[in-house]
Amino acid sequence: MPTPATLLTIDRSALAANWRFLAGQAAHGHCAAVVKADGYGLGAVEAASAFLAAGCTRFFVAHLAEAIILRAGLTERFPQAKPSIGVLNGLLPGEQAEFLAHDLLPVLNTPQQIADWQPEHPAILQIDTGMSRVGLEAMEFDALLPDLRRRNFGLLISHFARADEPQEPLNRLQIDRFSAAMQQLPGVPGSLAASSGIFLGPDAHFDLLRPGYALYGGNPVPGKPNPMQRTVTLTTPIIQVRDVEAGRPVGYGSRWHAPA
């Protein structure tokens, strides 16, 4: 087999350093790692292994199938470790047995998901504080409070809509809404800040940071220097270098013309 001409190199030490850097920003608690979409394309088990070795004990994925693969991979590599794995999309019909068998935590987003999950089993609750994506609406949360208070929630979460815009008033509003919800569930820790939310300051941190793309080198502070280390390098040989005179079109549809 010929050696592939193009090589994608993933730096595990940079992944670990990024997690440690973000964990160091935590004002009141700890730092999880989101490894959904197969670790943002870098391999969920590989990425989570780097984070786990660096000290991370809580992970999030989007789907149950991802969580089962992650649990098996981490158990094989770290038999003594028992990290928490939350599934952001929550519980679909008929999945409860799989969650329990693999020791996974559903993020309960809707009244139906809450009704379908046995109250004695651990779970995570998500509320909507301004993104209008997933999670209980304020009226649903209020209506379900008596039931929610008797359930075994280990975490309350929500998600910023515009955390990459530090001056956006919605950020403060979401923090206040989340704080008010936490007061209604005494003793349940909270998590609101993902990658960009971490840089909104201590008021946004609550008990657990929940970064995703920043762990992989994405810039969580657009318009400012990226504080994260690069985790991926793509190298490939250059086949040809061309000199193109001014005005000459290049590519399909001649959509670009050389300015000089």
pLDDT at 185: 98
pLDDT at 16: 98
Contact 207, 185 (CB under 8 A): no
- For 107-153, how does the pLDDT look when each residue is reduced to its tens digit (9 = 90+)? 999 999 999 999 999 999 999 999 999 999 999 999 999 999 999 99
For the residues 190-211, what does the mean pLDDT come to? 97
82 is annotated as an active-site residue: no
- For 232-242, how does the pLDDT look when each residue is reduced to its tens digit (9 = 90+)? 999 999 999 99
pLDDT at 2: 75
In this predicted structure, the answer to whether residue 50 has a pLDDT above a threshold of 80 is: yes
Distances (CA, A) of 52 to 34, 58, 65: 12, 9, 20
For the residues 207-217, what does the mean pLDDT come to? 98
In this predicted structure, the answer to whether residue 101 has a pLDDT above a threshold of 90 is: yes
In this predicted structure, the answer to whether residue 1 has a pLDDT above a threshold of 90 is: no
**Of 36, 82, 213, 224, which is the active-site residue?**
36
The mean pLDDT value of the chain amounts to: 96
29 vs 107: CA distance, rounded Å: 20
Amino acid (1-letter code) at residue 237: P
40 is annotated as an active-site residue: no
pLDDT at 218: 97
Render 177-214 in DSSP notation, one character per residue. Answer: HHHHHHHHSTT--EE---TGGGGG-GGGTTTEE---GG
| Residues with Cβ within 8 Å of residue 130, at least 6 apart in sequence | 160, 161, 170, 173, 174, 177
For the residues 168-191, what does the mean pLDDT come to? 98
